[in-house]
Amino acid sequence: MIPRYEHPDIVRIFDDASKIARWDTVELAVIEARSRLGSTPVETYEKICTALKSTAFDLEAWYALEKELGHDLGAYVELRQQALPPELQYEFHKDTTSYDIED
């Protein structure tokens, strides 16, 4: 965006922290929907939700991993899975694509 046209509210909507927050919202909504449909235990959704909400997202680590992988959402998923207990990591981003989460 051209700096002279930037408005703080618009910049905040499109900054990286907001992008991560939106991705968290979508990922959690997918897991919640699965729990409501019965394909994922409700406890799994609750544990993932609690773990992610209690773990701050490290933007600097994300930038470094994204540079290594060449994929921003892939780096996000990897870091978010690391914040989860091993038995829950598979459930995060399960059967979804980048388009599912970003669009």
Question: Does pTM top 0.85 for this prediction?
Answer: yes
Nearest to 77 by CA among 38, 40, 48: 48
CA distance 2 to 96: 34
pLDDT at 10 over 90: no
The percent of residues in the chain predicted with pLDDT above 70, rounded, is 99
Taking only the tens place, the pLDDT of each residue in 43-75 is: 999 999 999 999 999 999 999 999 999 999 999
Least confident segment among 7-11, 19-23, 59-63, 73-77: 7-11
48/40 Cα distance (integer angstroms):
12
Check pLDDT > 80 for residue 98. yes
| Confidence tier at 1 by pLDDT (50, 70, 90) | low
